[in-house]
Amino acid sequence: MEKRISGIVTTLNEEHNIEAVIASLRQVCNEVVVVDSCSTDDTVRKAEQAGATLVVQPYLGDGIQKNVALKHVHNDWVISIDADERLTPELVEFINNTDFDATPYDGFAVRRRNMVGSRWIKACGWYPDYLVRIYRHSKLRFRDVKQHSSVPTVNTKRIKADLLHYRYRNIGELFAKPERNYSTRGAKILYLQGRRVNALTPVLHGVGAFLSNYFLRGGVLGGIDGLTLSLAVANNSYLKYAKVLEWQRDETVREKENFDTVW
């Protein structure tokens, strides 16, 4: 019996990922909906060629963008993943062996297996990174927030199956992923919220982020990758507050920044 479950992917310039992620979802889904944020590469053509339903939507923010797809799916049960994520064989097996019509749960949380290159990173709280990605959208959906959205865990169950997340292609992307400038985005959000800082704020947040990730979240147990990840998180935290400070102190820099393009 065919599974009545819809796959959802949000994209922006993912031409190198889109075919593989659609193929991954096709293992368990009878339809795939791609919500594209006006890509300028070959993402749209490849998605349509792969048989996905394409929805073009200028980016609205994390959770809001993911929920756009819900207007275009034909099934109540959906699985939402990013373009750089793939279903593992055990996750495919779980979905194929589950009677979603009979389950008392409204969603299932999977373990996200975060990768840097071909290396599985478990330090700094990166595993098990439980996230609700399979859910009944008549009951659950991503929170309508623009940053760090997630599906609520109400009436959901954690399952012992992984979702592969090819998070960074190499160490360099840990520090600077060009298409996702997290520190600038975070800084703009803080500045627009009226947050003001002093000269010590970037240092305190940077040091605090390193100590938290390296010692409290187990980076020290992750060898060189744990150290590198902790330094990258600290660097991002430092830069976020340093940029807010710069906009406060330097009018010429602030005037050249476009605060209408946070998302």
The residue ranges of every structural domain in the chain are 5-168, 171-256
Alpha-carbon gap, residue 26 to 29, rounded angstroms: 5
The whole-angstrom separation of Cα 7 and Cα 86 is 12
What is the distance between the alpha carbons of residues 223 and 120, in angstroms, rounded to a whole number?
A: 12
Backbone angles phi, psi at 86, to 5 degrees: -140, 145
Q: Summarize the confidence of residues 172-194 as an average pLDDT.
A: 82
Q: Could you tell me the two tokens for 28?
A: 């368990």
Please name which of 234, 118, 122, 236 lies closest in space to residue 170, comparing C-alpha atoms: 118
Under the banding of pLDDT at 50, 70 and 90, the label for residue 112 is: very high
**Three-class secondary structure of residue 7 per DSSP:** strand
Q: In 10 A of CB 211, how many CB atoms?
A: 14
pTM, two decimal places = 0.90
In 3D, which of 3, 30, 137, 9 has the Cα closest to residue 81?
Answer: 9
> What pLDDT digit, counting tens, does each position of 192-232 carry?
999 999 999 999 999 999 999 999 999 999 999 999 999 99
Q: Which among 60, 36, 234 is positioned nearest to 147, based on CA atoms? A: 60
Cβ partners under 8 Å of residue 202, min gap 6: 238, 239, 240, 241, 242, 245
The answer to whether 36 touches 43, Cβ cutoff 8 Å, is: yes
pLDDT score, position 263: 62
Task: Supply the pLDDT for residue 200.
Answer: 98
DSSP secondary structure string for all residues of 93-156: HHHHT--TTT-S-SEEEEEEEEEETTEE--TTTTSSEEEEEEEETTT----S-SSS-----TTE
pLDDT, tens only, 133-156: 999 999 999 999 988 899 999 999
Cα separations (Å) of 214 from 126, 177, 207, 239, 249?
12, 22, 10, 18, 32
3-state secondary structure of 178: coil
Topology of domain 5-168 in CATH is Spore Coat Polysaccharide Biosynthesis Protein SpsA; Chain A (3.90.550)
Is the predicted pLDDT of residue 94 greater than 70, yes or no?
yes
Answer yes or no: is pLDDT of 160 > 90: yes
Which of 236, 246, 173 has the alpha carbon at shortest distance from 208?
236
- Please report the pLDDT score of residue 177 as a whole number: 65
DSSP state of 83: T
pLDDT digit string (tens) for 31-74? 999 999 999 999 999 999 999 999 999 999 899 999 999 999 99
Tell which residue, 137, 151, 144, 181, has the closest CA to residue 60: 144
